[in-house]
Amino acid sequence: MLKNNIKISYFALIISFFNLLLYHLPFFRFVTNNLDSSSLSGILLIGSLVLIALVLNTFLFYIGLYISPIVGKFLLVVFAIVNSIAVYFINTYSVIIDKTMIGNILNTNLEESSSFFSFGLVMYLVLLGIIPSILIIKTKVVRVKFKKFLIHIALTFIFILAFVYINSTNWLWIDKNSKSLGALAMPWSYVVNTSRYYIHKNQENKQQILLPNAKIKDTKKSISVLVIGESARSKNFSLYGYEKDTNPLLAKQNNVHTYKASSCATYTTAGVKCILEHKKSNELYEILPNYLYRNDVEVIWRTTNWGEPTVNIKNFFKRGDLEKDCEGDGCNYDEILLNGLKEQILASKKDKILLVLHTSTSHGPTYNKKYPEKFNKFTPVCESVELAKCTQQELLNAYDNTIVYTDYILSSLIDQLKQLETYNSAMFYISDHGESLGENNLYMHGIPASIAPEEQLEIPFIVWLSDNSKELKSNREASQHNVFHSVLDFLAIESPIYDESMSIFK
Ligand SMILES: [Zn+2]
Protein backbone atom coordinates (compact mmCIF):
# COMPACT_ATOMS: atom_id res chain seq x y z
CA MET A 1 0.00 0.00 0.00
CA LEU A 2 2.86 2.36 0.76
CA LYS A 3 5.15 1.78 -2.21
CA ASN A 4 2.64 1.24 -4.98
CA ASN A 5 0.55 4.01 -6.35
CA ILE A 6 -3.01 3.77 -5.27
CA LYS A 7 -6.04 5.29 -6.91
CA ILE A 8 -7.74 7.91 -4.80
CA SER A 9 -11.07 6.09 -5.11
CA TYR A 10 -9.59 3.06 -3.32
CA PHE A 11 -7.63 5.28 -0.98
CA ALA A 12 -10.84 7.05 0.11
CA LEU A 13 -12.47 3.66 0.73
CA ILE A 14 -9.52 2.40 2.79
CA ILE A 15 -9.39 5.59 4.84
CA SER A 16 -13.12 5.39 5.44
CA PHE A 17 -12.74 1.79 6.62
CA PHE A 18 -9.97 2.65 9.08
CA ASN A 19 -11.80 5.76 10.19
CA LEU A 20 -14.66 3.50 11.22
CA LEU A 21 -12.41 0.90 12.79
CA LEU A 22 -10.13 3.21 14.80
CA TYR A 23 -12.38 6.02 15.95
CA HIS A 24 -15.90 4.67 16.22
CA LEU A 25 -15.74 2.33 19.16
CA PRO A 26 -17.63 4.86 21.36
CA PHE A 27 -20.15 5.33 18.55
CA PHE A 28 -20.97 1.64 18.29
CA ARG A 29 -20.82 1.19 22.06
CA PHE A 30 -23.55 3.81 22.28
CA VAL A 31 -25.57 2.09 19.54
CA THR A 32 -25.40 -1.35 21.12
CA ASN A 33 -26.24 0.06 24.56
CA ASN A 34 -29.31 1.84 23.28
CA LEU A 35 -30.86 -0.81 21.14
CA ASP A 36 -31.73 -4.45 21.40
CA SER A 37 -28.68 -5.83 19.63
CA SER A 38 -29.83 -9.43 19.92
CA SER A 39 -32.97 -8.88 17.85
CA LEU A 40 -32.95 -9.14 14.07
CA SER A 41 -34.06 -5.53 13.62
CA GLY A 42 -31.29 -4.42 15.97
CA ILE A 43 -28.64 -6.32 14.02
CA LEU A 44 -29.99 -4.93 10.75
CA LEU A 45 -29.86 -1.40 12.09
CA ILE A 46 -26.26 -1.81 13.24
CA GLY A 47 -25.34 -3.27 9.84
CA SER A 48 -27.05 -0.36 8.12
CA LEU A 49 -25.18 2.17 10.24
CA VAL A 50 -21.84 0.53 9.43
CA LEU A 51 -22.62 0.49 5.72
CA ILE A 52 -23.90 4.04 5.51
CA ALA A 53 -21.02 5.41 7.59
CA LEU A 54 -18.57 3.61 5.32
CA VAL A 55 -20.19 4.85 2.12
CA LEU A 56 -20.86 8.41 3.28
CA ASN A 57 -17.32 8.93 4.53
CA THR A 58 -15.83 7.39 1.39
CA PHE A 59 -18.00 9.76 -0.63
CA LEU A 60 -16.81 12.84 1.28
CA PHE A 61 -13.13 11.81 1.47
CA TYR A 62 -13.18 10.97 -2.26
CA ILE A 63 -14.51 14.40 -3.21
CA GLY A 64 -11.98 16.13 -0.96
CA LEU A 65 -9.06 14.10 -2.29
CA TYR A 66 -10.14 14.60 -5.88
CA ILE A 67 -10.31 18.38 -5.56
CA SER A 68 -6.78 18.46 -4.17
CA PRO A 69 -4.85 15.36 -3.13
CA ILE A 70 -2.41 17.46 -1.08
CA VAL A 71 -5.03 19.46 0.81
CA GLY A 72 -7.14 16.31 1.13
CA LYS A 73 -4.28 14.36 2.71
CA PHE A 74 -3.43 17.28 4.95
CA LEU A 75 -7.01 17.35 6.24
CA LEU A 76 -6.96 13.58 6.79
CA VAL A 77 -3.85 13.98 8.95
CA VAL A 78 -5.52 16.74 10.97
CA PHE A 79 -8.59 14.53 11.40
CA ALA A 80 -6.48 11.56 12.56
CA ILE A 81 -4.73 13.68 15.22
CA VAL A 82 -7.88 15.39 16.48
CA ASN A 83 -9.86 12.12 16.33
CA SER A 84 -7.33 10.41 18.56
CA ILE A 85 -7.60 13.17 21.17
CA ALA A 86 -11.39 13.32 20.93
CA VAL A 87 -11.74 9.55 21.39
CA TYR A 88 -9.42 9.74 24.39
CA PHE A 89 -11.65 12.33 26.06
CA ILE A 90 -14.83 10.48 25.17
CA ASN A 91 -13.47 7.25 26.62
CA THR A 92 -11.91 8.88 29.68
CA TYR A 93 -14.40 11.56 30.68
CA SER A 94 -17.59 10.57 28.80
CA VAL A 95 -17.68 14.03 27.24
CA ILE A 96 -20.26 14.86 24.63
CA ILE A 97 -18.77 16.71 21.68
CA ASP A 98 -21.46 19.24 20.87
CA LYS A 99 -21.39 22.97 20.18
CA THR A 100 -21.15 23.77 23.88
CA MET A 101 -18.24 21.42 24.48
CA ILE A 102 -16.36 22.92 21.53
CA GLY A 103 -16.93 26.32 23.12
CA ASN A 104 -15.49 25.05 26.38
CA ILE A 105 -12.44 23.64 24.63
CA LEU A 106 -11.78 26.80 22.60
CA ASN A 107 -12.16 28.95 25.72
CA THR A 108 -9.87 26.83 27.84
CA ASN A 109 -6.54 28.40 28.60
CA LEU A 110 -3.21 26.64 28.29
CA GLU A 111 -2.71 26.23 32.00
CA GLU A 112 -6.01 24.43 32.32
CA SER A 113 -5.56 22.15 29.31
CA SER A 114 -2.11 21.09 30.51
CA SER A 115 -3.76 19.63 33.59
CA PHE A 116 -5.32 16.98 31.31
CA PHE A 117 -1.93 15.76 30.13
CA SER A 118 -1.43 12.06 30.85
CA PHE A 119 0.28 8.91 29.65
CA GLY A 120 -3.04 7.61 28.32
CA LEU A 121 -3.43 10.69 26.17
CA VAL A 122 0.04 10.20 24.69
CA MET A 123 -0.76 6.57 23.87
CA TYR A 124 -3.96 7.54 22.06
CA LEU A 125 -2.12 10.29 20.22
CA VAL A 126 0.68 8.00 19.04
CA LEU A 127 -1.33 4.90 18.17
CA LEU A 128 -4.48 6.50 16.78
CA GLY A 129 -3.10 9.83 15.60
CA ILE A 130 0.55 9.89 14.64
CA ILE A 131 1.04 6.39 13.19
CA PRO A 132 -2.04 6.63 10.91
CA SER A 133 -0.86 10.12 9.88
CA ILE A 134 2.54 8.79 8.81
CA LEU A 135 0.87 6.08 6.72
CA ILE A 136 -1.42 8.65 5.11
CA ILE A 137 1.50 10.93 4.25
CA LYS A 138 3.64 8.09 2.85
CA THR A 139 0.96 6.63 0.63
CA LYS A 140 1.24 7.77 -2.98
CA VAL A 141 -2.11 8.43 -4.55
CA VAL A 142 -2.98 8.87 -8.22
CA ARG A 143 -5.93 10.74 -9.58
CA VAL A 144 -8.69 9.08 -11.57
CA LYS A 145 -10.09 10.54 -14.77
CA PHE A 146 -12.71 13.23 -14.34
CA LYS A 147 -15.35 11.19 -16.19
CA LYS A 148 -14.72 8.23 -13.94
CA PHE A 149 -14.88 10.44 -10.88
CA LEU A 150 -18.26 11.80 -11.94
CA ILE A 151 -19.63 8.30 -12.52
CA HIS A 152 -18.38 7.10 -9.12
CA ILE A 153 -19.85 10.09 -7.32
CA ALA A 154 -23.20 9.87 -9.13
CA LEU A 155 -23.55 6.15 -8.44
CA THR A 156 -22.59 6.55 -4.79
CA PHE A 157 -25.04 9.40 -4.42
CA ILE A 158 -27.87 7.33 -5.89
CA PHE A 159 -26.92 4.47 -3.60
CA ILE A 160 -27.05 6.74 -0.55
CA LEU A 161 -30.47 8.10 -1.49
CA ALA A 162 -31.86 4.62 -2.10
CA PHE A 163 -30.36 3.35 1.12
CA VAL A 164 -31.82 6.17 3.17
CA TYR A 165 -35.21 5.53 1.57
CA ILE A 166 -35.15 1.78 2.28
CA ASN A 167 -34.13 2.44 5.90
CA SER A 168 -36.87 4.99 6.52
CA THR A 169 -38.29 2.87 9.35
CA ASN A 170 -35.07 3.43 11.31
CA TRP A 171 -35.26 7.20 11.06
CA LEU A 172 -37.27 7.51 14.23
CA TRP A 173 -34.57 5.79 16.28
CA ILE A 174 -31.77 7.71 14.59
CA ASP A 175 -33.59 11.02 15.03
CA LYS A 176 -34.24 10.32 18.70
CA ASN A 177 -30.54 9.62 19.29
CA SER A 178 -29.17 12.09 16.77
CA LYS A 179 -27.57 14.30 19.40
CA SER A 180 -25.47 11.48 20.85
CA LEU A 181 -24.74 9.84 17.50
CA GLY A 182 -23.69 13.14 15.95
CA ALA A 183 -21.37 13.80 18.88
CA LEU A 184 -19.62 10.45 18.39
CA ALA A 185 -19.21 10.40 14.59
CA MET A 186 -15.61 11.28 13.82
CA PRO A 187 -14.45 13.64 12.45
CA TRP A 188 -17.80 15.32 11.77
CA SER A 189 -18.76 15.84 15.40
CA TYR A 190 -16.12 18.48 15.96
CA VAL A 191 -16.02 19.78 12.38
CA VAL A 192 -19.73 20.57 12.37
CA ASN A 193 -19.87 21.75 15.97
CA THR A 194 -16.84 24.04 15.62
CA SER A 195 -18.58 25.76 12.71
CA ARG A 196 -21.82 25.95 14.71
CA TYR A 197 -19.92 27.43 17.64
CA TYR A 198 -18.40 30.22 15.54
CA ILE A 199 -21.69 31.03 13.81
CA HIS A 200 -23.34 31.26 17.21
CA LYS A 201 -20.52 33.34 18.66
CA ASN A 202 -20.70 35.75 15.77
CA GLN A 203 -24.35 36.36 16.48
CA GLU A 204 -23.66 36.74 20.16
CA ASN A 205 -20.68 39.01 19.81
CA LYS A 206 -22.91 42.00 19.61
CA GLN A 207 -22.66 44.83 22.11
CA GLN A 208 -24.26 44.26 25.47
CA ILE A 209 -27.74 45.78 25.43
CA LEU A 210 -27.67 48.71 27.85
CA LEU A 211 -30.15 48.72 30.72
CA PRO A 212 -32.03 51.89 31.73
CA ASN A 213 -30.07 54.20 34.04
CA ALA A 214 -30.10 53.56 37.76
CA LYS A 215 -29.99 55.86 40.77
CA ILE A 216 -28.31 55.42 44.15
CA LYS A 217 -30.96 56.02 46.81
CA ASP A 218 -28.95 56.79 49.96
CA THR A 219 -25.44 57.45 51.24
CA LYS A 220 -25.18 54.55 53.70
CA LYS A 221 -21.83 52.85 53.12
CA SER A 222 -22.48 49.34 51.90
CA ILE A 223 -20.62 46.60 50.12
CA SER A 224 -21.81 43.48 48.29
CA VAL A 225 -19.29 40.76 47.66
CA LEU A 226 -20.22 38.25 45.01
CA VAL A 227 -18.07 35.13 45.09
CA ILE A 228 -18.53 33.01 41.97
CA GLY A 229 -17.70 29.38 42.65
CA GLU A 230 -16.29 26.95 40.10
CA SER A 231 -17.75 23.45 39.69
CA ALA A 232 -18.94 23.45 43.31
CA ARG A 233 -21.90 21.19 43.96
CA SER A 234 -24.11 21.65 47.01
CA LYS A 235 -24.20 17.93 47.75
CA ASN A 236 -20.62 18.03 49.12
CA PHE A 237 -21.13 20.98 51.48
CA SER A 238 -21.85 20.00 55.06
CA LEU A 239 -23.96 23.15 55.25
CA TYR A 240 -26.23 21.29 52.83
CA GLY A 241 -26.28 18.11 54.89
CA TYR A 242 -23.17 16.31 53.57
CA GLU A 243 -22.00 13.77 56.15
CA LYS A 244 -18.30 14.72 55.91
CA ASP A 245 -17.39 17.97 57.67
CA THR A 246 -16.41 20.11 54.70
CA ASN A 247 -17.57 23.44 56.20
CA PRO A 248 -16.00 23.58 59.68
CA LEU A 249 -15.39 27.34 59.58
CA LEU A 250 -18.59 28.58 57.97
CA ALA A 251 -20.54 26.48 60.45
CA LYS A 252 -19.12 28.66 63.23
CA GLN A 253 -19.92 31.99 61.56
CA ASN A 254 -23.14 33.78 62.49
CA ASN A 255 -25.64 35.07 59.93
CA VAL A 256 -24.85 32.42 57.31
CA HIS A 257 -27.84 31.28 55.25
CA THR A 258 -28.10 28.62 52.57
CA TYR A 259 -30.46 28.44 49.62
CA LYS A 260 -31.43 25.45 47.55
CA ALA A 261 -30.44 26.38 44.02
CA SER A 262 -29.91 24.97 40.53
CA SER A 263 -27.64 26.37 37.86
CA CYS A 264 -29.13 27.32 34.51
CA ALA A 265 -26.35 25.53 32.63
CA THR A 266 -23.53 23.05 33.16
CA TYR A 267 -20.61 25.03 31.82
CA THR A 268 -18.78 28.13 32.96
CA THR A 269 -19.58 30.77 30.33
CA ALA A 270 -23.34 30.18 30.52
CA GLY A 271 -23.40 29.76 34.31
CA VAL A 272 -21.49 32.98 34.91
CA LYS A 273 -23.71 34.84 32.44
CA CYS A 274 -26.80 33.71 34.38
CA ILE A 275 -25.29 34.92 37.65
CA LEU A 276 -24.55 38.36 36.20
CA GLU A 277 -27.63 39.09 34.10
CA HIS A 278 -30.97 40.45 35.30
CA LYS A 279 -33.09 37.78 33.58
CA LYS A 280 -32.67 34.58 31.61
CA SER A 281 -32.14 35.54 28.02
CA ASN A 282 -30.37 34.45 24.87
CA GLU A 283 -29.50 38.09 24.35
CA LEU A 284 -26.59 39.64 26.16
CA TYR A 285 -27.85 42.43 28.40
CA GLU A 286 -25.53 44.73 30.30
CA ILE A 287 -24.14 42.58 33.11
CA LEU A 288 -24.19 43.51 36.78
CA PRO A 289 -20.62 44.88 37.15
CA ASN A 290 -20.87 46.98 33.98
CA TYR A 291 -24.29 48.28 34.92
CA LEU A 292 -23.29 49.34 38.43
CA TYR A 293 -19.96 50.78 37.28
CA ARG A 294 -21.75 52.93 34.69
CA ASN A 295 -24.10 54.12 37.42
CA ASP A 296 -21.42 55.34 39.79
CA VAL A 297 -20.91 52.32 42.04
CA GLU A 298 -17.33 51.27 42.87
CA VAL A 299 -16.83 47.93 41.14
CA ILE A 300 -13.83 45.66 41.69
CA TRP A 301 -13.37 42.33 39.90
CA ARG A 302 -10.69 39.87 40.99
CA THR A 303 -10.32 36.58 39.16
CA THR A 304 -8.29 33.40 38.90
CA ASN A 305 -10.79 32.08 36.37
CA TRP A 306 -12.16 33.00 32.92
CA GLY A 307 -15.34 32.75 30.88
CA GLU A 308 -17.29 35.83 31.99
CA PRO A 309 -18.96 38.14 29.44
CA THR A 310 -16.86 41.26 28.75
CA VAL A 311 -16.40 43.27 31.93
CA ASN A 312 -15.96 47.00 31.24
CA ILE A 313 -14.66 48.44 34.50
CA LYS A 314 -11.50 50.12 35.73
CA ASN A 315 -10.56 47.75 38.56
CA PHE A 316 -10.22 44.38 36.85
CA PHE A 317 -7.49 42.18 38.35
CA LYS A 318 -6.33 38.86 36.96
CA ARG A 319 -4.14 36.38 38.78
CA GLY A 320 -1.00 37.96 37.32
CA ASP A 321 -1.99 41.41 38.64
CA LEU A 322 -2.72 40.03 42.09
CA GLU A 323 0.54 38.06 42.26
CA LYS A 324 2.58 41.27 42.25
CA ASP A 325 1.92 42.16 45.89
CA CYS A 326 1.30 38.68 47.19
CA GLU A 327 3.69 36.72 49.36
CA GLY A 328 3.62 33.16 50.60
CA ASP A 329 2.30 29.75 49.60
CA GLY A 330 -1.32 30.90 49.47
CA CYS A 331 -0.55 33.08 46.42
CA ASN A 332 -0.59 29.96 44.25
CA TYR A 333 -4.17 29.23 45.24
CA ASP A 334 -7.47 31.04 45.32
CA GLU A 335 -6.80 32.86 48.59
CA ILE A 336 -4.75 35.23 46.43
CA LEU A 337 -8.14 36.80 45.69
CA LEU A 338 -8.30 38.05 49.29
CA ASN A 339 -4.83 39.56 49.36
CA GLY A 340 -4.95 43.29 50.16
CA LEU A 341 -8.70 43.26 49.77
CA LYS A 342 -9.61 45.27 52.84
CA GLU A 343 -7.12 48.00 51.92
CA GLN A 344 -8.56 48.20 48.42
CA ILE A 345 -12.07 48.58 49.80
CA LEU A 346 -11.04 51.22 52.29
CA ALA A 347 -9.26 53.19 49.56
CA SER A 348 -12.55 53.71 47.74
CA LYS A 349 -14.27 57.05 48.12
CA LYS A 350 -17.66 55.75 47.05
CA ASP A 351 -20.55 54.79 49.30
CA LYS A 352 -21.54 51.70 47.35
CA ILE A 353 -19.18 48.92 46.38
CA LEU A 354 -19.61 45.72 44.38
CA LEU A 355 -16.73 43.31 44.67
CA VAL A 356 -16.68 40.17 42.52
CA LEU A 357 -14.31 37.30 43.26
CA HIS A 358 -14.29 34.72 40.47
CA THR A 359 -12.70 31.60 41.95
CA SER A 360 -11.46 28.42 40.28
CA THR A 361 -10.89 26.10 43.25
CA SER A 362 -13.00 23.03 42.43
CA HIS A 363 -12.17 22.83 38.73
CA GLY A 364 -11.16 19.31 37.69
CA PRO A 365 -9.57 17.07 36.87
CA THR A 366 -6.62 17.95 39.15
CA TYR A 367 -8.67 18.63 42.29
CA ASN A 368 -5.75 17.70 44.55
CA LYS A 369 -3.68 20.56 43.13
CA LYS A 370 -6.23 23.26 43.88
CA TYR A 371 -5.56 23.71 47.59
CA PRO A 372 -2.50 24.10 49.85
CA GLU A 373 -1.14 21.01 51.56
CA LYS A 374 -2.68 21.78 54.96
CA PHE A 375 -6.18 21.42 53.50
CA ASN A 376 -5.52 17.80 52.61
CA LYS A 377 -8.07 16.83 55.25
CA PHE A 378 -9.56 13.75 53.62
CA THR A 379 -7.12 11.14 52.34
CA PRO A 380 -6.09 9.25 50.26
CA VAL A 381 -6.79 11.56 47.34
CA CYS A 382 -7.01 10.92 43.61
CA GLU A 383 -3.78 12.03 41.98
CA SER A 384 -4.45 10.93 38.41
CA VAL A 385 -6.02 13.15 35.81
CA GLU A 386 -7.75 10.07 34.45
CA LEU A 387 -10.46 10.18 37.02
CA ALA A 388 -11.90 6.77 36.26
CA LYS A 389 -8.59 5.24 37.40
CA CYS A 390 -9.11 6.46 40.96
CA THR A 391 -11.50 4.88 43.40
CA GLN A 392 -14.69 6.79 44.04
CA GLN A 393 -13.44 7.45 47.56
CA GLU A 394 -10.12 8.95 46.41
CA LEU A 395 -11.93 11.14 43.95
CA LEU A 396 -14.43 12.36 46.54
CA ASN A 397 -11.64 13.01 49.04
CA ALA A 398 -9.76 15.23 46.60
CA TYR A 399 -12.92 17.07 45.65
CA ASP A 400 -14.05 17.43 49.27
CA ASN A 401 -10.71 19.02 50.14
CA THR A 402 -11.42 21.71 47.54
CA ILE A 403 -14.68 22.39 49.39
CA VAL A 404 -12.83 22.55 52.72
CA TYR A 405 -10.52 25.10 51.12
CA THR A 406 -13.49 27.05 49.74
CA ASP A 407 -14.91 27.04 53.28
CA TYR A 408 -11.66 28.61 54.50
CA ILE A 409 -11.68 31.28 51.80
CA LEU A 410 -15.30 32.26 52.44
CA SER A 411 -14.82 32.33 56.19
CA SER A 412 -11.66 34.46 55.87
CA LEU A 413 -13.54 36.83 53.60
CA ILE A 414 -16.30 37.15 56.18
CA ASP A 415 -13.70 37.90 58.86
CA GLN A 416 -12.29 40.69 56.70
CA LEU A 417 -15.75 42.13 56.05
CA LYS A 418 -16.54 42.09 59.77
CA GLN A 419 -13.61 44.44 60.34
CA LEU A 420 -15.17 47.03 58.04
CA GLU A 421 -17.41 48.28 60.80
CA THR A 422 -18.64 51.40 59.03
CA TYR A 423 -20.08 49.31 56.19
CA ASN A 424 -23.17 47.21 55.81
CA SER A 425 -21.86 44.13 54.08
CA ALA A 426 -23.24 41.08 52.35
CA MET A 427 -21.51 38.11 50.82
CA PHE A 428 -23.17 36.02 48.12
CA TYR A 429 -21.46 32.78 47.21
CA ILE A 430 -22.89 30.92 44.25
CA SER A 431 -21.40 28.37 41.87
CA ASP A 432 -21.49 28.51 38.06
CA HIS A 433 -22.59 24.85 37.84
CA GLY A 434 -22.14 21.54 39.65
CA GLU A 435 -19.86 18.57 38.95
CA SER A 436 -20.10 14.84 38.32
CA LEU A 437 -17.70 12.64 40.28
CA GLY A 438 -18.23 9.25 38.73
CA GLU A 439 -21.97 8.96 39.31
CA ASN A 440 -23.44 7.14 36.25
CA ASN A 441 -19.86 6.99 34.96
CA LEU A 442 -19.88 10.72 34.31
CA TYR A 443 -17.07 13.06 35.27
CA MET A 444 -16.69 16.84 35.43
CA HIS A 445 -19.50 18.80 33.72
CA GLY A 446 -20.80 20.01 30.38
CA ILE A 447 -23.65 17.59 29.69
CA PRO A 448 -26.49 19.60 28.07
CA ALA A 449 -28.65 20.98 30.90
CA SER A 450 -31.83 19.31 29.64
CA ILE A 451 -30.34 15.84 30.19
CA ALA A 452 -27.70 16.64 32.82
CA PRO A 453 -27.72 14.71 36.12
CA GLU A 454 -28.57 16.65 39.30
CA GLU A 455 -24.93 16.62 40.45
CA GLN A 456 -24.03 18.97 37.59
CA LEU A 457 -26.94 21.32 38.33
CA GLU A 458 -27.41 21.54 42.10
CA ILE A 459 -25.24 24.36 43.36
CA PRO A 460 -24.55 26.07 46.67
CA PHE A 461 -25.98 29.56 47.18
CA ILE A 462 -24.69 30.84 50.52
CA VAL A 463 -25.38 34.29 51.91
CA TRP A 464 -23.74 36.06 54.84
CA LEU A 465 -24.88 39.42 56.21
CA SER A 466 -23.27 41.82 58.63
CA ASP A 467 -25.23 42.45 61.84
CA ASN A 468 -28.36 44.60 61.45
CA SER A 469 -27.79 45.22 57.76
CA LYS A 470 -30.83 43.71 56.13
CA GLU A 471 -33.47 41.05 56.68
CA LEU A 472 -34.10 38.05 54.47
CA LYS A 473 -37.39 36.83 53.13
CA SER A 474 -38.40 33.48 54.54
CA ASN A 475 -38.16 31.32 51.41
CA ARG A 476 -35.06 29.17 51.04
CA GLU A 477 -35.01 28.52 47.30
CA ALA A 478 -33.25 30.75 44.85
CA SER A 479 -31.71 30.83 41.39
CA GLN A 480 -28.67 32.43 39.80
CA HIS A 481 -30.91 35.26 38.59
CA ASN A 482 -31.68 36.31 42.17
CA VAL A 483 -28.15 37.66 42.51
CA PHE A 484 -28.61 40.70 40.27
CA HIS A 485 -31.73 41.97 42.04
CA SER A 486 -30.52 41.13 45.53
CA VAL A 487 -27.29 43.08 44.98
CA LEU A 488 -29.28 46.08 43.69
CA ASP A 489 -31.56 45.86 46.71
CA PHE A 490 -28.71 45.57 49.20
CA LEU A 491 -26.83 48.53 47.74
CA ALA A 492 -30.06 50.59 47.56
CA ILE A 493 -29.95 51.09 43.82
CA GLU A 494 -33.15 52.26 42.18
CA SER A 495 -33.67 50.96 38.66
CA PRO A 496 -36.62 50.41 36.29
CA ILE A 497 -35.49 46.83 35.74
CA TYR A 498 -35.26 46.01 39.45
CA ASP A 499 -37.70 43.23 40.31
CA GLU A 500 -38.66 43.21 43.97
CA SER A 501 -39.86 39.60 43.80
CA MET A 502 -36.36 38.53 42.72
CA SER A 503 -34.60 40.03 45.73
CA ILE A 504 -33.89 37.68 48.62
CA PHE A 505 -34.27 40.65 51.03
CA LYS A 506 -37.41 41.95 52.68
ZN1 LIG B 1 -17.25 26.25 35.50
Separation of 46 CA from ligand 1 center, angstroms?
A: 37
Question: How many CB atoms lie under 10 A from the CB of residue 343?
Answer: 9
Ligand 1 centre from 171 Cα, in Å? Answer: 36
Distance from the alpha carbon of residue 231 to the mean position of ligand 1, in angstroms = 5
220 CA distance to ligand 1 centroid (A)?
35
Alpha-carbon torsion angle 276, 279, 280, 281, nearest 10? -100
C-alpha of residue 260 to centroid of ligand 1, in Å? 19
Structural domains of the chain, ranges and CATH numbers in brackets: 5-203 (no CATH), 220-502 (3.40.720.10)
268 CA from centroid of ligand 1 (Å): 4
Q: Which helix (H) or strand (E) holds 284?
A: none
Q: Which helix (H) or strand (E) holds 257?
A: strand 256-262
3-state secondary structure of 428: strand
Distance of CA 433 from the midpoint of ligand 1 (Å): 6
Q: What is the pLDDT along the chain (506 residues), one digit of tens a residue?
A: 455 688 999 999 999 999 999 999 999 888 888 887 777 878 888 888 899 899 999 999 999 999 998 999 999 999 999 999 999 988 888 878 887 788 777 777 666 677 777 888 899 999 999 999 999 999 888 888 999 999 999 999 999 888 888 877 777 777 778 778 888 898 988 888 888 888 877 766 667 899 999 999 999 999 999 999 999 999 999 999 999 999 999 999 999 999 999 999 999 989 999 999 999 988 889 999 999 999 999 999 999 998 898 898 999 999 989 998 899 889 999 999 999 999 999 999 999 999 999 999 999 888 999 999 999 999 999 998 778 788 999 999 999 999 999 999 999 999 999 999 999 999 999 999 999 998 988 888 888 888 889 999 999 999 999 998 999 999 999 999 999 999 999 999 999 999 999 999 99
Distance 368 CA to ligand 1 centre (A): 17
Apex 308 CA angle, 303 and 313, nearest 5: 70
* pTM score: 0.74
How remote is the CA of residue 366 from the centroid of ligand 1, in Å? 14
Ligand 1 centroid to residue 274 C-alpha, Å: 12
Could you tell me the distance, in angstroms and rounded to a whole number, from the CA of residue 42 to the centre of ligand 1?
A: 39
Cβ–Cβ < 8 Å for 316, 187? no
CB atoms within 10 A of CB 260: 15
**What pLDDT, on a 0 to 100 scale, did the predictor assign at position 92?**
85
**Measured in angstroms, how far is the CA atom of residue 402 from the centroid of ligand 1?**
14
Report the separation in Å between the CA atom of 95 and the middle of ligand 1, taken as the mean of its atom positions.
15
